Amino acid sequence: MSLPALLNHLKQSAALGQVAGLLSWDQETVMPKRGAEQRAEQSGTLAAVIHARDADPRIPDWIADIDRTSLTPFDRRNIDEAQRAYDRATKIPSRLAEESAKAASEGQRIWAAARAAKDFSQFAPALKRNIELKREEASCLADPGTDHYDALLDQFEPGAKAAELLPLLEELRPALVALREKIAGKPEPEPLAGHFPAADQLTLADTVAARLGYDFEAGRIDTVVHPFCSGSAGDVRITTRTDEADPLNCLYSTVHEVGHALYAQGAADPFLPAGDYCSMGVHESQSRFWENQIGRSRAFADWLYPAMDDAFGGLNLDGPDALYAAVNRVKTGFIRTEADEVHYNLHILLRFELERDMMAGNLEVDDLEETWNTRFARDFGLTVPDAGLGVLQDVHWSLGLFGYFPTYSLGNIYSACLDRAMLADLPDREAMVRAAETQPILDWLRDRIHAKGRVLPAPQMIEQATGEAPTATPLIDYLEAKFTALYDL
Amino acid sequence: MSLPALLNHLKQSAALGQVAGLLSWDQETVMPKRGAEQRAEQSGTLAAVIHARDADPRIPDWIADIDRTSLTPFDRRNIDEAQRAYDRATKIPSRLAEESAKAASEGQRIWAAARAAKDFSQFAPALKRNIELKREEASCLADPGTDHYDALLDQFEPGAKAAELLPLLEELRPALVALREKIAGKPEPEPLAGHFPAADQLTLADTVAARLGYDFEAGRIDTVVHPFCSGSAGDVRITTRTDEADPLNCLYSTVHEVGHALYAQGAADPFLPAGDYCSMGVHESQSRFWENQIGRSRAFADWLYPAMDDAFGGLNLDGPDALYAAVNRVKTGFIRTEADEVHYNLHILLRFELERDMMAGNLEVDDLEETWNTRFARDFGLTVPDAGLGVLQDVHWSLGLFGYFPTYSLGNIYSACLDRAMLADLPDREAMVRAAETQPILDWLRDRIHAKGRVLPAPQMIEQATGEAPTATPLIDYLEAKFTALYDL
pLDDT tens digits for A373-422? 999 999 999 999 999 999 999 999 999 999 999 999 999 999 999 999 99
CB A61 within 8 A of CB B249: no
pLDDT given for residue B208 in this prediction: 98
Q: How far is CA B276 from CA A155, B66, B214, B451, B460, in A?
A: 40, 22, 18, 9, 16
Chain B CB contacts of A54 below 8 Å: none
pLDDT for residue A1 is more than 80: no
Average pLDDT over residues B81-96: 94
User: Is A99 one of the annotated active-site residues of the chain?
Assistant: no
Q: Is residue B414 domain-shared with residue B446, that is, in the same domain?
A: yes
* pLDDT at position B84: 95
Domain match, B192 and B85 both: no
Q: Which residue out of A137, A257, A353, A369 is catalytically annotated? A: A257
Residue B176 pLDDT exceeds 90: yes
State how far the Cα of A219 lies from the Cα of B190, in Å rounded to an integer.
46
* CA B230 to centroid of chain Cα atoms: 12
Q: Are residues A86 and A118 in the same domain?
A: no
* pLDDT greater than 90 at residue A248: yes
Q: Which of B108, B123, B143 is the endpoint of a domain?
A: B143
- Provide the edge-to-edge strand list for the sheet that holds A221-223: A221-223, A235-240, A229-232
A15–B48 CB contact, under 8 Å: no
Same domain, residue pair A32 and A179: no
Task: Give the residue from A395, A365, A372 showing the smallest Cα distance to A104.
Answer: A395
The rounded distance, in Å, linking the Cα atoms of B211 and B214 is 7
Average pLDDT over residues A22-39: 96
Domain match, A78 and A136 both: no
Q: Do B352 and B261 share a structural domain? A: yes
Q: With contact defined as beta carbons under 8 Å apart, do B184 and B332 qualify?
A: yes
Provide the strand spans (E) within A388-475: none
User: Are the CB atoms for A134 and A156 separated by under 8 Å?
Assistant: no
Angle at A274 between CA A268 and CA A277, to 5 degrees: 60
Residue A102 belongs to some domain of the structure? no
Instruction: Tell which residue, A382, A315, A399, has the closest CA to residue A347.
Output: A382
Compare CB distances from A19 to B23, B234, B237 and report the shortest one's residue.
B23
Give yes or no for a contact between A348 and A214, defined as CB atoms under 8 angstroms apart: no
Using the beta-carbon criterion (under 8 Å), do A32 and B216 form an inter-chain contact?
yes
Nearest chain A CA: its distance from B218 CA (Å): 5
Q: How confident is the model at residue B301 (pLDDT cuts 50, 70, 90)?
A: very high
Q: Determine contact, residues A489/A443, Cβ cutoff 8 Å.
A: no
* Mean pLDDT computed over every residue of chain B: 97
Q: Which long-range contacts (CB under 8 A, 24 or more apart) does A128-136 make?
A: A128/A365, A129/A103, A130/A100, A130/A103, A130/A104, A130/A397, A130/A398, A130/A399, A130/A400, A131/A358, A131/A359, A131/A365, A131/A402, A133/A96, A133/A99, A133/A100, A133/A103, A133/A400, A134/A100, A134/A359, A134/A400, A134/A402, A135/A359, A136/A96
The CA-based diameter of chain A, rounded to the nearest angstrom, is 69
Q: How far is CA A466 from CA A239, A420, A471, in A?
A: 31, 8, 11
- Contact call for residues A425 and A465 (beta carbons, < 8 A): no
Q: What chain A residue is nearest to B15 in terms of C-alpha separation?
A: A42
- Chain B residue numbers with beta carbons less than 8 Å from the beta carbon of A12 are 45, 48
Sheet with B235-240, edge to edge strand ranges: B221-223, B235-240, B229-232
Q: What is the pLDDT of residues B423-473, one digit of tens each?
A: 999 999 999 999 999 999 999 999 999 999 999 999 999 999 999 999 999
DSSP category for residue A290:
I
| Pair (A254, A392) in one structural domain | yes
Which chain A residue shows the shortest CA-CA distance from B222?
Answer: A30
Cα angle B430, B434, B439; round to 5: 75
Question: From the CA of A94, how many Å to the nearest CA of chain B?
Answer: 17
8 Å CB contact of B30 and A32: no
pLDDT at B48: 93
Q: What is the rounded average pLDDT of the residues A61-79?
A: 95
User: Does A423 reside within a domain?
Assistant: yes
Sign of the torsion angle spanned by Cα atoms A293, A299, A304, A307: negative
Torsion of CA A120, A123, A128, A133, to 10 degrees: -140
Contact present, B417 and B466 (Cβ < 8 Å) = yes
Is B271 in Cβ contact with A32 (below 8 Å)?
A: no
- The answer to whether residue A96 sits within a structural domain is no
Query: Across the interface, which of A33, A42, A220 has its CB nearest the CB of B15?
Result: A42
Considering B108, B143, B178, which residue would you say is the last residue of a domain?
Answer: B143
- One-letter amino acid at A120 equals F
- Closest C-alpha among B248, B274, B388 to residue B327: B248
**Cβ atoms of residues B369 and B127 within 8 Å:** no
Mean of the per-residue pLDDT values of chain A:
97
Q: Closest by alpha carbon to A267, among B23, B43, B24, B38?
A: B38
ipTM of this complex: 0.94
Contacts of B44 in chain A (CB under 8 A): 15
The reply to whether A98 falls in a domain is no
pLDDT score of A345: 98
Between CA A374 and CA B52 the distance in angstroms is 57
Q: Write out pLDDT tens, residues A285-313.
A: 999 999 999 999 999 999 999 999 999 99
CA distance B108 to B122: 12
Per-residue confidence (pLDDT) for residue B41, from 0 to 100: 94
Chain A residue closest in CA terms to B220: A32
Which residues of B fall within a CB distance of 8 Å from A231? 35
d(CA B460, CA B446): 17
Beta-strand ranges (E) seen in A322-380 are none
DSSP state of A291: I
DSSP letter (8 states) at residue B388: G
pLDDT tens figures, A136-193: 999 999 999 999 999 999 999 999 999 999 999 999 999 999 999 999 999 999 999 9
* In-domain check, residue A100: no
Is 80 exceeded by the pLDDT of residue B174?
yes
- A10 contact residues in B (CB cutoff 8 A): none
CA distance A221 to chain B (A): 11
Res. A100: pLDDT tops 90: yes
Q: Residues for chain B: how many in total?
A: 489
Distance CA A146, CA A371 (A): 27
Q: Is A177 left (phi over 0), alpha (psi -120 to 50) or beta?
A: alpha
Dihedral sign (CA A10, A13, A18, A20): negative
CATH number, domain of B356, equals: 1.10.1370.30
- Give me the residue from B16, B26, B270 closest to A26, CB to CB: B26
Determine the angle formed by the axes of helices B2-29 and A2-29, rounding to 10 degrees: 70
Contact status, residue B336 vs residue B344, Cβ threshold 8 Å: yes
CA distance B228 to B253: 9
In this complex, the residue of B11, B38, B45 whose CB is nearest that of residue A235 is: B38
Asked which of B143, B159, B176 is the last residue of a domain, the reply is B143
- Please state, in angstroms and as integers, the Cα–Cα distance from residue B381 to each residue in A68, A281, B19, B378, B392, following that order: 73, 72, 46, 6, 19
User: Is A32 in Cβ contact with B219 (below 8 Å)?
Assistant: yes
Tell me how far apart the alpha carbons of residues A39 and B297 are, in angstroms, rounded to a whole number. Answer: 38
Dump pLDDT digits (tens) for B76-87.
999 999 999 999
| Other beta carbons within 10 Å of B395 | 14
- In chain B, how long is the greatest CA-to-CA distance? 69
Q: How confident is the model at residue B239 (pLDDT cuts 50, 70, 90)?
A: very high
Residue A72 to residues A3, A75, A278, A455, Cα–Cα distance (Å): 12, 5, 17, 10
CA B340 to CA B151: how far, in whole Å? Answer: 31
Contact between B19 and A23 using a beta-carbon 8 Å cutoff: yes
Q: Which of A34, A44, A235 is opposite residue B234, by nearest beta carbon?
A: A34
The single residue of B137, B157, B257, B355 carrying the catalytic annotation is: B257
Residues A425-449, mean pLDDT to the nearest whole number: 98
Look at B22 and A26 and tell me if their CB atoms are within 8 Å. Answer: yes
Render pLDDT for B186-234 as a digit per residue (tens, 0 to 9).
999 999 999 999 999 999 999 999 999 999 999 999 999 999 999 999 9
pLDDT value, residue B1: 75
Residue B298 pLDDT level (bands cut at 50, 70, 90): very high
Domain holding A45, by residue range, is: 1-91
Please give the C-alpha separations between residue B83 and each of A206, A210, B70, B80, B135, in angstroms, as whole numbers. Answer: 52, 53, 19, 5, 22
Q: Are residues A223 and A119 part of one domain?
A: yes
pLDDT tens digits, residue range B15-69?
Answer: 999 999 999 999 999 999 999 999 999 999 999 999 999 999 999 999 999 999 8
Predicted confidence (pLDDT) at residue B286 exceeds the cutoff of 80: yes
Among A36, A46, A233, select the one facing B38 at the smallest CB separation. Answer: A233
Contact B32 A270 (CB under 8 A): no
Q: Do A412 and A159 form a contact (C-beta atoms < 8 A)?
A: no
> How far away is chain A from the Cα of B220, in angstroms, using its nearest Cα?
7
Cβ–Cβ gap B12/A37 under 8 Å: no
Interface contact flag, B32 A217, Cβ < 8 Å: yes
- Partner-chain contact B18 A36, CB within 8 Å: no
Residue of A12, A18, A37, A45 to mutate, interface with B, max B Cβ within 10 Å = A45
Question: How far is residue A120's CA from residue A397's CA, in Å, rounded to a whole number?
Answer: 13
Residues A23 and A161 in one domain: no
Residue A101 lies in a domain: no
pLDDT greater than 90 at residue B2 = yes
Please answer whether residues B62 and B2 qualify as being in contact, where contact means their C-beta atoms are separated by less than 8 angstroms.
Answer: yes
Interface residues of A toward B, Cβ cutoff 8 Å, are: 11-12, 15-16, 18-19, 22-23, 26, 30-39, 41-42, 44-46, 48-49, 215-220, 231-237, 270-271
Yes or no, beta carbons of A33 and B215 under 8 Å apart: no
A236 φ/ψ angles, rounded to the nearest 5 degrees: -125, 105
- Cα distance between residue B108 and residue B120, in whole Å: 13
- Within this chain, do residues A55 and A196 fall inside the same structural domain, yes or no? no
CB–CB contacts below 8 A, A to B: 115
Q: State yes or no: pLDDT of B266 exceeds 80.
A: yes
Alpha-helical (H) ranges within A185-333 are 198-211, 247-265, 280-288, 298-311, 320-327
Q: Say yes or no: B418 and B489 in one domain.
A: yes
pLDDT of residue A94: 86
Could you give the number of structural domains in chain B? 2
* Shared-domain flag, residues A156 and A47: no
